[in-house]
Amino acid sequence: MNANDTTRLWTNTLATMALAGAVFGSPTVASAAGYVEGRLLVKTAAGLSQVEMTRLLKANMSRVAMPIGNDGLYALAVPHGFESALAAHLAKDPRIGFAEVERFAAPAMTPNDTYYSYAWHLPKIQAPSAWDFSQGDGVTVAVVDSGIDPTHPDLVAHLVPGHNMVSDNTDTSDVSGHGTLIAGVIGADTNNGVGTAGVGWNVNLMPVRVSETAGNDTTTGTIAAGIIWAADHGARIANVSYEVNDSGTVTAAAQYMRSLGGVVIIPSGNTGAYAGIDNPDLITVAATDAADAVPAWSSYGELVDLAAPGAGIVTTTNGGSYMSTSGTSFAAPVVAGVAALMLSANPNLTSAAIEQILKATALDIGTAGKDQYSGAGRIDAAAAVQMALTWTPVAVDTQVPSVAIGSPTANAQVSGTLSVQITASDNVGVTSVKLYAGSTLIGSDTAAPYAINLNTTAYANGALQLTARAYDAAGNEALSAAVTVTVNNVAQDTTAPTATITAPTANKTVSGTVTVKSIAADNVAVATMTLYVDSVKLCTGNSTALNCAWNAAAATRGTHVIKLTAIDTSGNAKTTSVSVKR
């Protein structure tokens, strides 16, 4: 059967349906499936003439109800009951850009929780619009923390079995209250008429207790074990509200979580200080306030991937109550909740896709592009969920760049301002290169040949380790082999010599031939001594004593000035003088 035969069969079938009673009707009635009866929305391909369009629609028992704008977008009137079938058929025609049923759009979800009006962060990140499409169902988020209050009325319905990593049992009661605060931000029971609302309101909350005491103390090894346990027991997201960006053990656990399609989310810290370099296996979150500003206490650095509300967040507390709290510890679970909404909307998201979408849809609130204070920007739940719904796997650049320090070489003696030469390459392209002295970032360069200046006088004489990092556009990074150099800066001589005219003495009356005598000394070495009479050079020498003969008889009567200038090997100078009479 050829294309013309298919079109005739389709047309005849629709005609038969129409004769049997299918008619064009009012487009204001909702079908059982939630779309408008008797209406389609289509966009025609560029250049489609009105005559050809009329012929196409007539063949498909459709007609234009109204144009929408001036760009080939139309609402069509179609027979009741055949909206979906006609949309699918028209979508296959090359003359149609797309065809879809027209759906009713409900207003953004507004929960009825008692304290929802205080949860400023939820409308700020467009959570109500995200909830129209996803509420976190079916996604398990591990709260790797101090436990969760098992009786809290806003949490109990969403708790799933967890584990106590400290005592190796199932007692995950909260020993400090911190974990319960985190859990409420992620998934407090929402629209239940009481309490507050969580970002991912229908998520499963998995308590993984790693805290040893009421002070919330723990170790990176215990945290890593908790992440691995959570990953092995179905969690796709682990919120770890501890500052563990530089832990190799936690990084290894995060890599395991990512290998199973999950992500680990951590806070940047609350010291307001530089907090370190990027860790590509962790999603690190800084805090923002209601004005989308980053508070002074939110730690910064290359480690910051995203920002999220973290100031004055209303959440659940140990013992069944509620409070407002602040910190990057409460910004991280906002991102965890959004990630849960995304996974609920599209369970096929990979760990890389989760992170890419979170960053791609974030609102840039700082310096254009990624910056050290807000990363890619402040999280946007609605945009993230929408992108998650339409996400399809794409080829991802996973090849890391190559990078090496070309100069100076290992064991080189360095001093003053040093130009460090770096070589870097990538299969796609290097976007930036950064130089570190020890753990301190010195500077970056974005164009080859890469050269970054290092002021060695800022470091003590002795061994200094240099490393370089290279980044590509996909976020892949590589660390160079370390090059250890020896700083050898000689202390600068700033002390001037001493200079003395020993004869004649001041105010002495002279006549005939006078022997002018002088001496000089220096902490390093005297380079030159020069004697002058009335600013006319008398003689010069390069020792620490200089004697010259002056024919005073040829001088005019009156006062004359004898001057001595001594200069050391560093260029420091000293001048002294005496006056005599003729």
The one catalytic residue among 152, 158, 178, 560: 178
How big is the chain, counted in residues? 582
Spatial neighbors of 262 by CB under 8 A, at least 6 apart, are: 231, 235, 236, 237, 238, 351
C-alpha 18 chain-centroid distance: 59
Residue 41, token pair as written in the block? 């929305």
**Cross-strand bridge partners of residue 452:** 420
The one catalytic residue among 329, 351, 374, 518: 329
Run of H or E residues at 463 = strand 462-472
The yes-or-no answer on residue 178 being catalytic is yes
**Cross-strand bridge partners of residue 443:** 435
CA dist., res. 293 & res. 295, Å (int): 6
Q: Up-side HSE of residue 422: CA atoms within 13 Å toward CB?
A: 36
CA dist., res. 501 & res. 440, Å (int): 53
Neighbouring C-beta atoms of residue 51, cutoff 10 Å: 8
The answer to whether the CB of 447 falls within 8 A of the CB of 421 is no
Run of H or E residues at 539 = strand 536-541
CA dist., res. 427 & res. 552, Å (int): 84
Q: Is the Cα dihedral 347, 351, 356, 361 positive or negative?
A: positive
The yes-or-no answer on residue 232 being catalytic is no
The one catalytic residue among 62, 89, 145, 374: 145
Q: Look at strands 450-455 and 483-487 and give their pairing.
A: unpaired
**Cross-strand bridge partners of residue 463:** 486
Catalytic residues: 145, 178, 329
